[in-house]
Chains A and B, each alone.
Chain A
Amino acid sequence: MGLVESGKMPKPLTNLLNISRRYSIWIFQWGLACCAIEMGAALGSPRYDVMRLGVIPLPASPRQADLVCISGTVTDKMVPAIRRLYDQMPDPKYVISMGSCANCGGPYWDSYSVTKGVDQIIPVDVYVPGCPPRPEALLEGIVLLQERIRHEDMAERWKGDPIVVT
Chain B
Amino acid sequence: MILGLHLAYWQTSVIRSLGVLVAVLLPAGTFVYIFLFKMVSFMQSRLGPMEAGPYGSMQLLAEVGKFIQKEDIVPDNADRRLFKLAPYLVVATVLLVYLVVPFGPKMRFVNFDGGIFYALAVSSISALGVLIAGWASANKYSLMGGLRAAGQLIAYELPMVLAVVGVVIQAGTMNLSGIVAAQANGKMFGFGGLGNPYFITQFVGMVIFLIAVQAELTQTPFDMPIAESELVTGYITEYSGMRFLLFFIAEFAAVGSFAAVAATLFMGGWAVPGIKFDSGVMNVLGPIVLMAKMTLIAGVIFFVRFTYPRFREDQLQKFAWTILIPVALANILVTTVLKVAF
Closest to A16 in B: B65
Point out the residue from B56, B59, B72 that lies within 8 Å of A90, measured CB to CB.
Answer: B72
B258 is an interface residue with CB less than 8 A from chain A: no
Number of residue pairs spanning A and B whose beta carbons lie under 8 angstroms apart: 98
Closest to A62 in B: B240
Flag the segment in A44-52, A70-78, A110-118, A120-128 that touches B: A44-52
B241 is an interface residue with CB less than 8 A from chain A: yes
Given the known A-B contacts A90-B72, A90-B73, are A19 and B65 also in contact in the complex, defined by CB atoms under 8 Å?
yes
A-facing residues in B222-246 (Cβ within 8 Å): 228, 232-233, 236-241, 244
Flag the segment in B38-46, B81-89, B199-207, B275-283 that touches A: B38-46
**Are A49 and B62 touching (Cβ within 8 A)?**
no
**How many A residues face the partner with a CB closer than 8 A?**
29
**Are A46 and B44 touching (Cβ within 8 A)?**
yes
Point out the residue from B45, B49, B228, B238 that lies within 8 Å of A52, measured CB to CB.
Answer: B49
A56: chain B residues at CB < 8 Å are: 63
Point out the residue from A4, A16, A51 that lies within 8 Å of B48, measured CB to CB.
Answer: A51
Given the known A-B contacts A63-B239, A64-B239, A66-B70, are A54 and B62 also in contact in the complex, defined by CB atoms under 8 Å?
yes
CA distance A118 to B19 in the complex (A): 50
B66 is an interface residue with CB less than 8 A from chain A: yes
**Are A60 and B240 touching (Cβ within 8 A)?**
no
**Are A52 and B73 touching (Cβ within 8 A)?**
no
CA distance A26 to B233 in the complex (A): 14
A97 is an interface residue with CB less than 8 A from chain B: no
Could you name 17 residue pairs across A and B whose Cβ atoms are closer than 8 Å? A17-B65, A19-B62, A20-B62, A20-B64, A20-B69, A22-B62, A23-B66, A24-B59, A24-B65, A24-B67, A49-B46, A54-B56, A63-B73, A64-B239, A64-B244, A90-B70, A92-B71
Nearest Cβ on chain A to B289's Cβ, whole angstroms: 32
A91: chain B residues at CB < 8 Å are: 70-71
Given the known A-B contacts A60-B233, A61-B237, are A92 and B69 also in contact in the complex, defined by CB atoms under 8 Å?
yes
A59 is an interface residue with CB less than 8 A from chain B: yes
Residue ranges of A at the interface with B (Cβ–Cβ < 8 Å)? 4, 16-17, 19-26, 29, 46, 49, 51-54, 56, 59-61, 63-64, 66, 88, 90-92
B66: chain A residues at CB < 8 Å are: 20-21, 23-26, 66
Most chain B beta-carbon contacts within 10 A, residue among A4, A17, A23 = A23
CA distance A25 to B66 in the complex (A): 8
**Are B62 and A23 touching (Cβ within 8 A)?**
yes
B52 is an interface residue with CB less than 8 A from chain A: yes
**Are A23 and B51 touching (Cβ within 8 A)?**
yes
A-facing residues in B63-118 (Cβ within 8 Å): 63-67, 69-73
B209 is an interface residue with CB less than 8 A from chain A: no
CA distance A19 to B312 in the complex (A): 41
CA distance A88 to B73 in the complex (A): 9
